[in-house]
Structure 1
Amino acid sequence: MKIALAQLNYHIGNFELNTKKIIETIHAAKAKKVDLVVFAELAVCGYPARDFLEFTEFIELCDKAVVAIAAECKGIAAIVGCPSVNPKIEGKNLFNSAYFLEKGRVKAKVHKTLLPTYDVFDEYRYFEPNTQFELVELMGKKIALTICEDLWNVDEDPLYVKAPMDELIHLRPDLMINIAASPFDYRHREDRLEVLSNNCEKYNLPLIYVNHIGAQTELVFDGGSMVMNANGHLIDELKYFEEDFSIVEFNSGLCAFEAKEVSIGGAWQNEDNDKPLDVSGLETIERIYNALVLGIRDYFQKSGFSKATLGMSGGIDSAVVLALAAEALGKDNVLPVLMPSQYSTNHSVDDSMDMINLIGCKHETIAIKDIFDSFQTALKPQFKDLPFNLTEENMQARIRGVLLMAISNKFGYILLNTSNKSENAVGYGTLYGDMCGGLSVIGDVYKTQVFALARYINRNGIIIPENIITKEPSAELRPDQKDSDSLPEYEALDKVLYQYVELRKSSREIIAQGVDEVLVKRILKLVNTNEYKRHQTPPILRVSPKAFGIGRRMPIVGKYLS
């Protein structure tokens, strides 16, 4: 039996596009004498559809698309993910389903059992869990068909819940097929390989796994669809961050696939997650880079925009965002705007221009000194002789935000936010100023990782001038200002943030690792007291296991300071 893995980029709610892609792939597979083509979880409607799933018309369009796809499955079978309704169930009557299509019709439906509600997931809000377990049959072979988390549970997990395969294995299947919508983070490939390999060994069955690629607002899906034999050895692995298509020949037995095992590039086991954040690994930074480029590109294409603007300060954050945007959208579709003040240094302007010239994009320069002076004059009756402080610094940031949003509105550009995760964590940013924008590109990238990204961007030649990378970070909102005036050194800051945000360690646990108690409590207080700012940030492209945004839900007025 020839089985094709179809790893495609879907668009939520774009039934015409998604159906067209699926049908074209079915025809291509049929031309190659494929017997079964496998698509990803909720491929028909896109993932995550969220509250679209509460609209009756949306579900009707899903049904209509499945009927159209099934009509093309003559002489070939397909597995495709789509919501399904069971009108006999009261309350939530919607399932996250895998449709088995053959002979022009829906031959079977398998529903997802384990509905995730952790981190970015909220499937139990919409779907009912499966309670009945049956196999799918094709060409005399029995297939255990599961959906994403249904094959992620392992016995060693302290939160282990009985998985569908524990039931299906009693029906003596020949093959496992898992369709998934598994979002990217920079550790996820190793997790995925390890868990799926362990389950192949546990059930002594080969596996076909098909995942999404593409970005859906904050979430990036990296692909990495794969084939494993019953020993848990990787037979085939599809591309990352690209659409891909692969065919394998399936037979019965331990070595079920007629293909050579492939190298997986190192051990599957993760590094000790409790170790301090390590940003030096080239593979991790390369993954983050590819995810961010895909995230920007898909956000624009799926939103119907083509051009971006951003504030260009001469610092490393805006430089990295400019480089990423130019790669994702093309240099002619990115407009950096320089907005120097009386506190901006000459080298910041020069460094910005050096990078703009290296990339070859257009730019605008709008000095803000006169605007800032007029604001100060207007507020003189209220401020009187009060000293210059954070208020005046924030005024400059908000002036820049107004100018950038004006350009965005007038010319139809999306404003890219350039704040990093370290700044977002401790509130080192101005609401309605440097925190504004339509998309936060590096909001899930720590400052130390931003430096590593800059080095990676320059791997084949200088794109970001060396002076931007090596000079001390500064917001340049007052004379001789440095980030270190207000914040701990970024290397120390990021290590504590990683322990608290990603690993959810308490102050006591972090201090026990040898970190200074005063520093830890200062940082954690900054994180918790600035939650109100993060509730007002643009969508953040998620690249870590725990990003700010939909996957981290904290109360604004909570008292707990860990």
Structure 2
Amino acid sequence: MTDQLAIALAQINPTVGDVPGNADRVRAARRRAAELGADLVLCTELCISGYPPEDLVLKPSFQEACMAAVRTLAAETADGGPALLVGSPWVENGTLHNAVLLLDGGSIASTRFKVDLPNYGVFDEKRVFVPGPMPGPIAFRGVRLGVPICEDIWTSAVVECLEETGAEILLVPNGSPFEADKTDVRINLAVARVTETGLPLAYVNQVGGQDELVFDGASFVVNADRSLAAQLPAFRECVVLTRWRRQGEGWRCYDAPIVETPEGLEAIYETMVLGLRDYVNKNRFPGVLIGLSGGIDSAITAAVAVDALGSDRVRCVMMPSPYTSQSSLDDAAAAAEALGVMYDTINIGPAMEAFRTMLGGVFEGRAEDTTEENIQARSRGLTLMAMSNKFGAMVLSTGNKSEMSVGYATLYGDMCGGYNVLKDVYKTTVFALSDWRNRSWRDGFLGPKGRVIPQNIIDKPPSAELKPDQKDQDTLPPYDALDDILQGLIEGEQSIEQIAARGHEAATVQRIWRMVDIAEYKRRQAPPGVKITRRAFGRDRRYPITNGYRGSV
């Protein structure tokens, strides 16, 4: 009977669809694990295909590519090195499964299928996979390993079955995306399963950005006594060895690192950096373009971009109109200088005049209104997209979640872009993040230490500067009140009465409700952006554009 086991946790960053590259990442993790003396390498969920593969996994040619890569990896384990537990799409008896496979001794030694397929929020696994049967443990060198897959531990049924059929250790591959405060949720779920079964549990989570999702890693081990035995870094690829020893009738992890994981604003900022870095790099853009207005949204977007990509891959453009204040010109220049980015100034006044002349005939007799304001925003969007076409860099849009909620944005104007790091960040959090970044810097950031967002940008009242003396608060409630209402409407799905009971005027809540509803058509055309909250716009929240429901006062 084996009394000791060395298990490497491979917290890797796969790319959806890059089957050869993902297999090479597994190979590299296995080589590192062999150097550390591992018997077994636990990889992440669907690491061969990348997670989530969405409808790509329905292509038979893609399924076969994934399975062929697994077979090749299995043959390589004949070298006597560590065994592998890898996740991959797998077809058996004509049905497609989310699988984990034990590769050992040159062959596929065991296969298990995910039972509980999530079908909520950003997850659509029932759309593409067939659930597997209740699993039994996998025999590995005298140890019975239970291998529930991600959602299988969110309820008790699968792990209860594994415990009843003799599992001794639970090894859980995951593809669990970041949400604010989710680390505690994962730990608490793991502790619940450990408490129910009396079995220790190792949880390995992938890391990296995939479109709107960011996977934060932060893998961990919980012993049978519910103590934390290992904690891996967040937002970093790593291969970490954990050593296990049989004690009486059970197993205990006794030699593994425990590192501190970021929380709060730090975790949100790290998520934005990683999400943007992987979106740009995995899609092979040379860099990014940002319209730098002198306001806080574009300033923090530029800071995130430089931290993610380096100043040499970020180009900022100030596009003043006759309504742009000298303060904004000065602040934008100061922000660009602090970040060390390439900085251009392109006056959009001639474009505004050209549109005024071009449209003068059809607009004759009508007063200026938001139409002319939107022409300014669209002139800026056109300028940025022209530069993107010419130089190849991707435009970053800079609207925050508060603005996108109420439609305080211009289609084909400031909404132009390929990605938005602030898409799921409320305005009050934008202010807090800006202050945090000025005081903080972390290993892995490519931008400078110290203050990168001028204090005047943080202190001055927000304004779109599309007409004289314009302020956001002319048409919106103060942002602390607005964001509280929006969180009630969006994350909380609360009624007007429930939100008003928190101290808001019911008429104001109903007005904001209506603004959120009528802006749905804009959000459908918005670029993707980093998911931060439990209810991000996009796949998390699917509301009809044509919608007659108004609530009640």
Same fold (TM over 0.5): yes
Residue correspondence of structure 1 range 390-429 to structure 2 within 5 A: 390-429=370-409
Query: Secondary structure of 2:147's partner?
Result: strand
Out of 180, 185, 195, the residue aligned to residue 191 of structure 1 is: 185
- Residue deviations 1:118-146 (CA, integer Å, cap 9, x gap): 00000000000112422101121111111
Confirm or deny: 8 A CA contact 1:111 1:129 kept in the other structure. yes
Could you tell me which amino acid in structure 2 is paired with residue 227 of structure 1?
Answer: V
2:205 corresponding residue in structure 1: 211
Superposition deviation, residue 226 in structure 1: 0.8
1:18 corresponding residue in structure 2: 22
Out of 230, 243, 246, the residue aligned to residue 240 of structure 2 is: 246
Superposition deviation, residue 520 in structure 1: 1.1
Query: Secondary structure of 2:133's partner?
Result: coil
- Partners of 1:397 and 1:420 in 2: how far apart? 16
2:275 corresponding residue in structure 1: 295
Superposition deviation, residue 262 in structure 1: 4.6
1:110 corresponding residue in structure 2: 112
Tell me, yes or no, if structure 1 residue 474 matches structure 2 residue 463.
yes
Query: Secondary structure of 1:28's partner?
Result: helix
Out of 23, 42, 49, the residue aligned to residue 45 of structure 1 is: 49
Computed over aligned residues only, the root mean square deviation of the Cα atoms, in angstroms, reads 1.4
2:443 corresponding residue in structure 1: none
Confirm or deny: 8 A CA contact 2:42 2:86 kept in the other structure. yes
Superposition deviation, residue 371 in structure 1: 1.2
Residue correspondence of structure 1 range 365-376 to structure 2 within 5 A: 365-376=345-356
- Partners of 2:210 and 2:154 in 1: how far apart? 22
Residue correspondence of structure 1 range 339-488 to structure 2 within 5 A: 339-460=319-440, 461-488=450-477
Could you tell me which amino acid in structure 2 is paired with residue 256 of structure 1?
Answer: R
2:142 corresponding residue in structure 1: 140
1:149 corresponding residue in structure 2: 151
Confirm or deny: 8 A CA contact 1:438 1:538 kept in the other structure. yes
Structure 2 residue ranges without an equivalent (≥5)? 441-449
Could you tell me which amino acid in structure 2 is paired with residue 449 of structure 1?
Answer: T
1:7 corresponding residue in structure 2: 11
- Change in 2 beyond 3 A, CA 1:489/1:410: same
1:519 corresponding residue in structure 2: 508
Query: Secondary structure of 1:559's partner?
Result: coil
- Partners of 1:125 and 1:401 in 2: how far apart? 37
Out of 455, 467, 481, the residue aligned to residue 492 of structure 1 is: 481
2:284 corresponding residue in structure 1: 304
Out of 119, 122, 143, the residue aligned to residue 120 of structure 1 is: 122
- Partners of 2:345 and 2:456 in 1: how far apart? 20
2:87 corresponding residue in structure 1: 81
- Partners of 2:134 and 2:302 in 1: how far apart? 51
Segment drifting more, 174-183 vs 243-252: 243-252
- Partners of 2:187 and 2:344 in 1: how far apart? 47
Confirm or deny: 8 A CA contact 1:184 1:220 kept in the other structure. yes
2:254 corresponding residue in structure 1: 258
- Partners of 1:290 and 1:35 in 2: how far apart? 33
- Partners of 1:233 and 1:523 in 2: how far apart? 46
- Partners of 1:11 and 1:264 in 2: how far apart? 26
Confirm or deny: 8 A CA contact 2:148 2:173 kept in the other structure. yes
- Partners of 1:391 and 1:39 in 2: how far apart? 54
Structure 1 residue ranges without an equivalent (≥5)? 155-162, 266-281
- Residue deviations 1:55-114 (CA, integer Å, cap 9, x gap): 111001001110111122232211000010013x5xxx1000000111111011100000
Question: In the comparison of the two structures, how many residue pairs are matched?
Answer: 534
- Partners of 1:362 and 1:31 in 2: how far apart? 44
Confirm or deny: 8 A CA contact 1:135 1:168 kept in the other structure. yes
Residue correspondence of structure 1 range 257-276 to structure 2 within 5 A: 257-259=253-255, 262=258
Segment drifting more, 22-31 vs 445-454: 22-31
Confirm or deny: 8 A CA contact 1:4 1:34 kept in the other structure. yes
Superposition deviation, residue 263 in structure 1: 7.7
- Partners of 2:398 and 2:433 in 1: how far apart? 14
- Partners of 2:407 and 2:238 in 1: how far apart? 41
- Residue deviations 1:375-430 (CA, integer Å, cap 9, x gap): 11111111113111110000100010000000001100100010000000000000
2:548 corresponding residue in structure 1: 559
Superposition deviation, residue 283 in structure 1: 3.1
- Partners of 2:224 and 2:257 in 1: how far apart? 12
- Residue deviations 1:475-528 (CA, integer Å, cap 9, x gap): 000000000111111000001111111122222221233322112111111111
- Partners of 1:259 and 1:57 in 2: how far apart? 43
Confirm or deny: 8 A CA contact 1:197 1:231 kept in the other structure. no
Superposition deviation, residue 255 in structure 1: 6.1
Superposition deviation, residue 199 in structure 1: 1.1
1:222 corresponding residue in structure 2: 216
Residue correspondence of structure 1 range 271-282 to structure 2 within 5 A: none
